[in-house]
Copies of this chain bind each other. A is one copy, B any other.
Amino acid sequence: MTTVQLTQGAGGQAMQDFLKQHVLNSLRYSSFPKQDLSLEDLDDASAIQDIAFTTDSYTIKPLSFPGGDIGTLSVAGTVNDLVVVGAEPIALSLGLILEEGLLISTLEAIMSSIGSVSRSCGVPVITGDTKVVERGSVDEMIINTSGLGIRSPLLDQNFMRVRETRPIESRWVKDSNLKEDDLVIVSGNIGDHGVSLLSFREGYGFEANGLASDIAPLNEMVVDCLKAGGIVAMKDPTRGGLADALNEWSHKSGCGILVEEERIPIRDSVTSACEMLGLDPLEIGNEGKIIIGVVAEAADDLLSELRRHPEGKESAIIGRATKASKSVVLQTTIGGQRIIEAPLGDPIPRIC
């Protein structure tokens, strides 16, 4: 293919391949000292010295939807990308690309969302940039937020708890840290964001029964998780959903992951919407959930800690890393097994 395809920006396997083939090689920087969390790791954030750094552009449609808008999404998304590597978010940047003719009232509503989420999670926007382009050169508004974090002082005690059971070298929480027998926790119901946004956009009406996006900055909950300790990997299953996140872990760590379908928390309304729409809930993006890889001995403590938080009260242990397989394998409710592949593209475009 000689042109860029939609699937190549969809967060799935096609995007990983695309980046490796056409982007990352050119950016290679040989004289740069090997970092513990580098660009090539393709984790949710990278790190240089004790500073974590991440960036995300938001191209969603429509700008507002049940449970949030592009503003809440951009703050929460960037904060969560920092916390999942074990960083304490300290500052955000805000890059606005606005279409000429955008309603000022729309802009102000979104800026107000950004301000209130930023204040509520304690992470200020400290720098920004604004561009306005002619009508037709962009769909209403694109936001880029980058985020800056510092290595959490809780990481040392977190890893100490890991070391009670096995060695670990990494100074950060990262995808490749998963090892055989580690347990996998998901912090709550999956699929809410993607299904409610799609339903609202297309007028399907599933959101009429209170289904809404799960957007939430998770920094406070993660602080308590790190205090509980024993965490080796965390990830927010956004584009590509749980299927993509688990496959990234499996691929980077060299472990298979066995997931029990009946343990995956999911709302009935999401299950039925997915059945009607022919979507796999495991491939649908979330914006207020994390998956956590934890040494087995610490999993129960961590689960109790998660369930004390409103964003984590549906947390569940859903699986276990294993050397018995190289893949992500789903033990289905009807008793069979199937391999969960990383989605090739994105079943619901423009949701993040």
Contact among B108, B124, B349 for A22, CB-based, below 8 A: B108
| CB-defined contacts of A124 to chain B, threshold 8 Å | 27, 29, 32, 39
Interface 9-residue window, one of A55-63, A224-232, A293-301: A55-63
> What total of chain A residues lie within 8 Å of the partner, measured CB to CB?
82
Contact among B5, B56, B130, B134 for A100, CB-based, below 8 A: B5
| CB-defined contacts of A313 to chain B, threshold 8 Å | none
Which chain A residues in 85-103 approach chain B with CB under 8 Å?
90-91, 93-103
Q: Evaluate contact between B23 and A130: CB separation under 8 angstroms.
A: yes
Nearest residue, chain B, Cβ from A108: B22
Q: Evaluate contact between B111 and A23: CB separation under 8 angstroms.
A: yes
Residues 206-243 of A, flagged 1 when their CB comes within 8 A of B and 0 if not, give 00000000000000000000000000000000000000
Measured in the bound complex, the distance between the Cα atoms of B132 and A256 in whole Å is 30
Measured in the bound complex, the distance between the Cα atoms of B108 and A56 in whole Å is 21
Q: What's the number of copies of this chain in the assembled complex?
A: 2
Interface 9-residue window, one of A43-51, A170-178, A186-194, A276-284: A43-51
Measured in the bound complex, the distance between the Cα atoms of B28 and A125 in whole Å is 8
Measured in the bound complex, the distance between the Cα atoms of B30 and A105 in whole Å is 24
| CB-defined contacts of A3 to chain B, threshold 8 Å | 100-104
| CB-defined contacts of A39 to chain B, threshold 8 Å | 124-128
Q: Evaluate contact between B8 and A127: CB separation under 8 angstroms.
A: no
Distance (whole angstroms) from the CB of A20 to the closest CB of chain B = 12
Distance (whole angstroms) from the CB of A186 to the closest CB of chain B = 23
Q: Evaluate contact between B107 and A4: CB separation under 8 angstroms.
A: yes
Distance (whole angstroms) from the CB of A144 to the closest CB of chain B = 4
| CB-defined contacts of A19 to chain B, threshold 8 Å | 128, 130
**Other 17 A-B pairs with CB < 8 A, given A2-B105, A53-B146:** A3-B103, A8-B98, A8-B130, A8-B132, A9-B132, A19-B128, A28-B115, A31-B122, A32-B124, A39-B124, A39-B127, A51-B148, A54-B93, A55-B144, A57-B129, A144-B146, A148-B148
Which residues of chain A have a CB within 8 Å of any CB of chain B?
1-10, 15, 18-19, 22-23, 25-29, 31-32, 35, 38-39, 45-49, 51, 53-57, 59, 90-91, 93-105, 107-108, 111-112, 114-115, 118-119, 122, 124-134, 136-139, 142, 144, 146, 148, 349-350
